[in-house]
Chain A
Amino acid sequence: MRTLRASRSPRLAIVAAVAVLVAGCGSTAPSASTAPAPSVAAPSVAAPSTAPASSESAAPGASASVAASAAAECGTYAGPPAKLTYAMWGDTTELANQQKIVDAFTALNPNISVKVTVADWDSYWAKLQTDLAGGNAPDVFLMDGPLYPDYQTRDQLLDLSPLIARDGFDTGQLVDLAVKDFTAPDGHLYGLPRDLNTIALFYNKAMFDAAGLSYPDASWDWAKLVEAATKLTKTSGDKTSQWGFYTETSDMENLWSSLVWQAGGDILSADKKTVVIDTAEAAAGIQFLQDLIYKDKVMAQPVAGGTGDMFENGQAAMEANGSWLVPTHEAAGINFGVAPLPKGPAGQATSVNPSGVVAYKGTKSPDAAWEFIKCYTGPKLQAMVASLKASMPANKQVLADQYATSFDGGKTFADALAYAHLKPSFKGYNEFNSTLQDELDTKVFNDNQMTAKAALDEVAPKLQGLLGQ
């Protein structure tokens, strides 16, 4: 769960693990970036337009959980002794973190024992499908927001709504967008969000100080980003020693979906039946990213697997990316701040992607499985999720009280929920995504073969065909 994105690639996970080792395992010690100069970061956190909105949305859930019934609390399982298997994707670091959370759960529920299994991103899904096909799936398992419909619509997941109603569990205590992502077309919940990630702008304070530039804040727009990134790019001859900007182009979540929304476009229509990625607005968002690489030249040309995170390596002054990178950047010893993504022509927008815990429909212990999911989203275990800083807890109260105050930038990530769009989530997401991403990688990002609009016009009919299947 630590680095959703990094975990998808075994290779990147290894690189990340090596980086952590080299950096001296600073994950548990209070890191450099939390301590210094909170006053410097204060202006960027106090984004006037966004802060009130998000605290309003967090408030009702926090107060409602006080009034919730006793059965909604963790540790109320009264059934026979049960054994659960909990499957997750990730690496060994994430497994160790999850094991601690699971240990806390079993301490609260001594009648339930939990075996945790871990696999890298790709193996996880291949194995899960095979296990489900064989009727031998884990009782509870991790689910990525965009892929949820593929499993839910195929009738593989346990309907949690009756159990939620039975125990009087208040889903209002969880981030609304994340709950929405796990709400099926029938209005029922077949899973609850465990944690989520939003996208913001990391910046290297030392590089900004050296260039005499003021730090990014909520007032920034695209033009301001290009202006600052240009000043921060240091080139001599054909070699660039420092880039102004870095992001990952290989998935919509890292940045480009946010740019599409900031430009006033979208990927699918609201009913998810029509592809709208080929509109002028959507194309403008992707064009902005292509221009950062090839026109403004403030970002290195993406290379498959080659460079690693240039911000983490100290080769780039800014990085637009997800909240999952916080521990990695801290371990790298970078003194960084976090600002909201710069505004586009149509205003502010970012992406949010929750991952949740679901139960297998054929589980032998549905009550124990529900107890596990219920506890995972409750304050006690969510506090442990928050303390990892590797993702944002799904519980509103823990998010606002603990995560947002635990490091410089936590509030920026949490406040971003006020203007966040859910990462698209629909049946057939994988094939749709790889078809679209393949086109953009080949022709727009990794190579300057054609404009964003031309590439999107080319791929849109194919995408529309996939939606109809």
Chain B
Amino acid sequence: MTSTVPVAELTGAVESPPRRFRPGAARRRSDTRWALLFLTPTLIGLAVLSAGPILATFGISLTKWDMLTTPQFVGLDNYVRLIGDDRFLRALRNTVFYTVVSVPLGLALALALATALNQQIRGIAWIRTAYFLPLVTSATAIALVWLWIYSPAGPLNDILRAFGISPQRWVADPTLAMPSIIAMSIWQGLPANVIIFLAGLQAIPAEYYDAASVDGAGRRSRFRSITLPLLTPSIFFTGVLALIGAFQVFDQVYVMANPGKPGEATITLVYFIYEAGFRNFKMGYAGAASWIMFLIVAVATILYFRTQNRWVHYQ
């Protein structure tokens, strides 16, 4: 169990707690210097490739600009108009719905699956490999298969028919469209989360379980008192990634929509931004929408980090 060194390293980053007290200020300073030295390439990359564009986008968001002619400064006009734009508000609502449903559901499923895949049974390596396949399959291929699954004469409706339920229009029906897309996304996102959870599970020393068993703890209480608390760093970590990823959902919606054109029921924030900037020649408007989204994601992430002390247990 404990011999899986490479996977354990994966979670190392989130496992080491930020220590408050260290002996000797001099050593701390030299640690910081070394840390900065090693981080420099990344920091330069971030500044040039991320911070730069983010700030530039803010500048663009204050203009009316079609990318081809001279931008006009319009102040906060784009932001004011966005707040009254039905399509933007719908995109915002859809994205929040997608996030709120897909993140917890996806994490819970991944956790269950990781626990199941952590068993010592014959051929477990093969079973694990099968579950990781979606990770290495192209998004378009996945979407094509799911379109078939959801199609009127597809297998999902065949199953419904077998139970005497009338066939559903999974991606065409406005009320079913988003849940259908969420189901596909969760399936698609599972393996990445399962890998992290599996690594977390394997990093839990077997002695804890042995000791608990000796004390008479059952399967369920061992899971609740040992597995879950020790897995909280992994859950926290995947949660952040899933939260940010969910806000940025684009591909699934884009591919599953009728000719690449999501309607009212499935338009998301990133699609709205893409549409405004690259289809409708409104780069300033798209920039403003990007900034609103950036702020929402930042606030959501900060709030999420605030909850950390309450439920995340570092060893």
Contacts and interface: CB of A to CB of B under 8 A. Distances in A.
Contact of A10 (B66, B140, B263, B264): B140
B121 interface: no
Interface string B255-277: 11111110111000000001100
A150 B66 CA distance: 10
Contacts of A238: 166
Interface in B51-98: 66-69, 87
A304 B258 contact: yes
A55 interface: no
Interface stretch (B40-48, B170-178, B194-202, B306-314): B170-178
B281 A305 contact: no
Given A154-B68, A447-B174, A304 B279 contact: no
A446 B259 CA distance: 13
A291 B5 CA distance: 65
A14 B66 CA distance: 32
Contacts of A130: 67
Given A125-B278, A154-B66, A8 B169 contact: no
A15 B144 CA distance: 9
Given A306-B172, A307-B152, A125 B255 contact: no
B140 A156 contact: no
Contact of A305 (B256, B274, B279, B280): B256
A121 B67 CA distance: 19
Contacts of B177: 304
A132 interface: yes
A428 B260 contact: no
A10 B260 contact: yes
Interface in A152-180: 154-156
A11 interface: yes
B147 A306 contact: yes
Given A129-B278, A305-B147, A434-B275, A442 B264 contact: yes
Nearest to B141: A14
A183 interface: no
Contact of B265 (A122, A251, A442): A442
Chain B contact residues (Cβ within 8 angstroms of A): what range?
35 or more
Interface string A424-464: 00001011001101100110001100000000000000000
A307 B281 CA distance: 32
Contacts of A446: 172, 258, 263
B152 A303 contact: yes
A306 B144 contact: no
B259 A431 contact: no
Contact of A307 (B68, B151, B255): B151
B88 to A, nearest CB: 13
A228 B172 CA distance: 28
A301 interface: yes
A302 interface: yes
Given A129-B278, A434-B275, A303 B172 contact: yes
B278 to A, nearest CB: 4
Contact of A428 (B275, B278, B280): B280
Contacts of A125: 278-279
Contact of A133 (B67, B169, B171): B67
A154 B261 CA distance: 25
Interface string A396-437: 000000000000000000000000000000001011001101
Contacts of A438: 261, 263-264
A460 B68 CA distance: 29
A9 B151 contact: no
Given A125-B278, A129-B67, A303 B260 contact: no
Contacts of A430: 279-281
B143 interface: yes
A434 B261 contact: yes
Given A238-B166, A306-B150, A14 B278 contact: no
A149 to B, nearest CB: 11
B294 to A, nearest CB: 21
Contacts of B172: 301-304, 306, 446-447
Nearest to A8: B259
Nearest to A446: B172
A441 B279 contact: no
A9 B279 contact: no
A104 B66 CA distance: 37
Interface string A118-154: 0001100110011011000000000000000011001
A195 B255 CA distance: 29
Interface in B136-171: 140, 143-144, 147, 150-152, 154, 166, 169, 171
B288 to A, nearest CB: 16
Contacts of A307: 151-152
15 contacts: A11-B140, A14-B140, A126-B274, A154-B68, A154-B69, A156-B68, A301-B172, A302-B172, A303-B171, A304-B257, A305-B147, A307-B152, A438-B261, A438-B264, A447-B174
Given A129-B281, A304-B177, 11 more contacts: A10-B260, A11-B140, A14-B144, A300-B152, A306-B147, A306-B154, A431-B280, A438-B263, A438-B264, A447-B172, A447-B174
Interface of A: 8-12, 14-15, 121-122, 125-126, 129-130, 132-133, 150-151, 154-156, 238, 250-251, 300-307, 428, 430-431, 434-435, 437-438, 441-442, 446-447
